[in-house]
A and B are shown apart, each in its own frame.
Chain A
Amino acid sequence: MKLPAEIFLAFRYLKPKRTFVSIITLLSVLGPTLGVAILLIVSSVMAGFDRDIREGIMSMQAHLTAYPILSESFNKPLEIVHQLEKYGLKSTPVIEGNALIQVRKQILPKVIRGIIPDLEKEVTSIQRNYFHPGHILKEGEVIIGARLAMMTGLQEGDEFLIHSPARLTRNIVWKENGGVEIKPTDELYLPEEVHVAGFYSMGVADYDDNVLIMHLDQAAELMGLDWGSATSIQIAVPNPMQMNELTQKLKREFPLCNFITWQEKNKLLFGTLQVEKNLMTFLMTFIVLVASFCIATTLITVVVQKTREIGVLKAVGMSGFAIARIFLLQGGIIGVLGTGFGVALGLGIMACRDRIAQLLSMIMGHEIFPAELYHLMKIPALTTPTDLLLIVSLSLGICILAALVPAIYAAALQPAKALQEDN
């Protein structure tokens, strides 16, 4: 209780004359509380989104992909795989292409991906996301994404058809004058009949909707390629964040290959993410600014209300600095309380974010976080200590800054004038 006058008064000014907590104090604490909570939620979701997207991408894509330069496929991809092994790099041949799948009468465009399961598990985590991890892919078997299964109603063991473009276009000949001719054929076109051997779930809607996984040889057949060939080679590197040097070296060693990193492959997505993040930060700054106006307004009101008291304080020998300290301290107290409550509120909302999203979806009558738009299955969240520290210090800093104007004004009041103020 025996505090120096400025600390003593800072606390007293936060309390009103009659009720326990002043409405003005409450409102001014609410400003930074909401600001900090929203900032925390947005930055956590953005960071979580970024992390989950990256993880999802990395689980399906290798860090580095080699494409053939001269032809559309590698004839002997395993030779390159062996050569890469000498550099200590794990790799696997892959065939990727587009196809139409037919489930009963429904026809859907999808991506097929042929893999060699034994090699693939060294490079991507596709197999870890199988529902039957030990399963060996045989001819006629396809693993589909969990979302595709839900949409089409396909279950394990169900059969469906794959129409491959290679087969569909086999009988078409482009003439030299630009015309098209259909080869007379006695062969009958038949789609490939396959059945569902299992499901996978990467947590990335793009993949879980679109990609069918099958054995490399099956894919070769569908794409009309020779057995043992591949459209690309997927390579895992030890440090995916720093692979420029390695990529340059591989480009020199394998002149017939074009190497593309995972960042390059997803440039558009990461670019979009970055733009979203920048935009959010920009908008969030205004929220914090508005919160700081809250505090500035409160303190200016207090200073104006207390003008005569400030005059008395000066008359009894309190220095301008000490008077400024009263209001800075008040801003500080509001800042600490607001930031503290804001952090608690933000973390609380993050903890039950999925339930809140469900509730909002119910109230608004449509899904507010559709997986198709956001790529991910649930609301991501990642609160890093750095982000938390940044938000807390930003909020406290702005609160103190907001208090600075009224504090300086109070310190600079002419005592004789202040004493004659009518209030």
Chain B
Amino acid sequence: MMENQDTLFKLVDLKKHFRLAGSSIQVLNGLNFSIPKGLWVSLVGPSGSGKTTLLHLLGGLDKPSSGRILLQGQDLAGLSSRRLSLLRREKIGFIFQSYHLFPELTALENAVLPALHFGRNREAEYQKAKELLHRFGLADRLEHRPRELSGGEQQRVAIARALINDPKIILADEPTGNLDATAAKEIIRILNSLRENQQRTIVMVTHDLELATQTDLTIRLQDGQVQVS
């Protein structure tokens, strides 16, 4: 993996351990690699190998125990939590295995939520959310609550939410993990379309090794170490 202006993430001796009931569990044990811009990257590895932890670290949701994560040369550990929120809002979209939609809100409201800040043209954001939901085949589902939607539909709403602020990075934590084969296929098709058309970088945690082979780059985590293929 080259290191040049196309490098998006650069991990330097990244370590993470958790304290659990008094004992320390080493999850990531000195990771050194880079993720280039514009690729679809899959993170694979057995359960407990630290895939989700790594994804959270990349998204600035957690801090490393030691080592550094550089996002386009900027050390995430050096950012205040306010700057980190701003960074997530503008540059990163998250997709979760169990969708994490807000049960009180409709599909449209869920999708538009990250864009409802002070100072934004909220009318326009609602329009944009509608367009995204249209694009993902949810035009007649705008006013439905999450519990009225199928798993695949919920995940498509979640993807719309991740895209509402037009981020350059998508971090997806087993986006197809809870879906049947058909719905999973649809989600993969959408993710693929995001990458090809818009030069986005997608980092996706998955258990599905066959799915991993379709991606540009597979990072295999095992015992806190990394193998890139």
Task: Please report A residues at the B interface, Cβ cutoff 8 Å.
Answer: 2-5, 8-9, 12-13, 15, 17, 308-309, 311-322, 414-417, 419
Contacts and interface: CB of A to CB of B under 8 A. Distances in A.
Contacts, number: 85
B102 A309 contact: yes
Interface string B193-204: 000000000000
Nearest to A418: B61
Contacts of B59: 315
A12 B109 CA distance: 11
Contacts of B113: 5, 8, 313, 316
Given A317-B114, A319-B82, A416 B62 contact: yes
B86 A317 contact: yes
Contact of A5 (B61, B100, B116, B162): B116
B81 A308 contact: no
A2 B123 contact: yes
B85 A320 contact: yes
Given A5-B116, A419-B96, A17 B88 contact: no
Interface residues of B, number: 34
A3 B62 contact: no
Contacts of A13: 104
Interface string B126-141: 1000000000000000
B100 A321 contact: no
B114 A316 contact: yes
Interface string B87-119: 111101110100010111100010001101110
Contacts of A321: 82
Nearest to A417: B62
A328 to B, nearest CB: 15
Contacts of A12: 102, 104-105
A318 B86 CA distance: 8
A2 B122 contact: yes
A5 B117 CA distance: 6
A302 to B, nearest CB: 11
Nearest to A318: B85
A3 B116 contact: yes
B94 A316 contact: yes
B104 A4 contact: no
Given A4-B118, A5-B117, A13-B104, A414 B85 contact: no
B37 interface: no
A28 to B, nearest CB: 17
Contacts of B168: none
B207 interface: no
B154 interface: no
B161 A419 contact: no
Contacts of B126: 2
Contacts of A313: 113
A312 B81 CA distance: 15
From B81, B109, B118, name the one whose CB has the most chain A CB atoms within 10 angstroms.
B81
Given A2-B122, A312-B102, 17 more contacts: A2-B116, A8-B109, A9-B102, A17-B104, A308-B100, A309-B100, A309-B102, A315-B59, A317-B86, A317-B88, A317-B89, A317-B90, A319-B82, A322-B117, A416-B53, A416-B62, A419-B96
B61 A320 contact: no
Contacts of A3: 116, 122
A314 B85 contact: yes
A317 B83 CA distance: 10
A313 B113 CA distance: 9
A408 to B, nearest CB: 13
Contact of B165 (A5, A8, A17, A317): A317
